[in-house]
A and B are shown apart, each in its own frame.
Chain A
Amino acid sequence: MTVEMRRSEVGALLGFAERQLYVYKRYWVWEVVWLFYSIVSVLSIGFLASGLDQLGAGSAGFDLRKAQLYLLIGALLWGYLSLVFMEAAYAIAWERWEGTIEYTFMAPVRRVTHLMGICLFAIVYGLARTFIVLLVAIAIFDIDFSHADILGALVVLAASILPLIGLAILTSVLPLLSPQKGEQMSFAVQGFMLLVSGVYYPLTVLPVPLQLAGAISPLTYALDGMRRSLLDGATVRDQVGTVAVLVVMGAVLIPAGIAVFAWAERRAKHLGLLKRSG
Chain B
Amino acid sequence: MSVPAIEIHGVRKYFRRREREAGAPWWRREWKDKVALHDLDLVVEAGGVTGVLGPNGSGKSTLIRILGTLLTPDTGTARVFGWDVVRDALLVRSHVNRVSVEAAFFKELSPWENMVYASRLYGHSGGTRRRVVEILESLGLPRDVIDEPMKQLSRGQQQKVAIARSFLTAPSLLLMDEPTTGLDPRSKKEVQAVLETLRGEREITVLLCTHDMDEASALCDRVLMMDGGRVLADGSPDELARRHGAPALEDVFMQLTGKTFEAEEEEEVIVT
Contact = CB atoms under 8 A, between A and B. Distances in A.
A274 interface: yes
Q: What range describes how many residues of B lie at the interface?
A: 35 or more
Nearest to A101: B104
A179 B96 contact: no
Contact of B108 (A23, A102, A273): A23
A107 interface: yes
A110 B270 CA distance: 26
B261 interface: no
A19 B98 contact: no
B272 A178 contact: yes
B72 A108 contact: no
Q: Which of B97, B120, B124, B271 has the most CB of A within 10 A?
A: B120
A110 to B, nearest CB: 7
A15 B117 contact: yes
Nearest to B113: A22
A98 B105 CA distance: 7
A278 B269 CA distance: 9
A106 B70 contact: yes
A277 interface: yes
A108 B123 CA distance: 8
A8 B62 CA distance: 29
Contact of A110 (B90, B98, B272): B90
Contacts of A18: 116-117, 120, 126
B268 to A, nearest CB: 5
A15 B65 CA distance: 24
Given A26-B149, A179-B272, A269-B71, A103 B98 contact: yes
A180 interface: yes
Contact of B270 (A14, A15, A278): A278
A106 B108 contact: no
A98 B106 contact: yes
A147 interface: no
Given A19-B106, A23-B109, A106-B96, A274 B70 contact: yes
A98 B109 CA distance: 11
B167 interface: no
A269 B72 contact: yes
B106 A106 contact: no
B271 A273 contact: yes
B180 interface: no
Interface string B102-141: 1011111100010011111111111000000000000000
A14 B98 CA distance: 23
Given A107-B122, A273-B270, 16 more contacts: A12-B121, A15-B119, A15-B126, A18-B126, A22-B106, A23-B108, A26-B149, A98-B105, A103-B118, A106-B69, A178-B272, A269-B70, A270-B74, A272-B268, A272-B269, A276-B104
Interface of A: 4, 7-8, 11-12, 14-15, 18-19, 22-23, 26-27, 98-110, 178-181, 266, 269-278
Interface of B: 15-16, 62, 65, 68-72, 74, 90-91, 93-94, 96-98, 100, 102, 104-109, 113, 116-126, 149, 268-272
Would you list the 8 A-B pairs with minimal beta carbon distance, nearest first? Answer: A15-B120, A8-B123, A108-B94, A107-B121, A108-B93, A26-B108, A103-B104, A180-B272
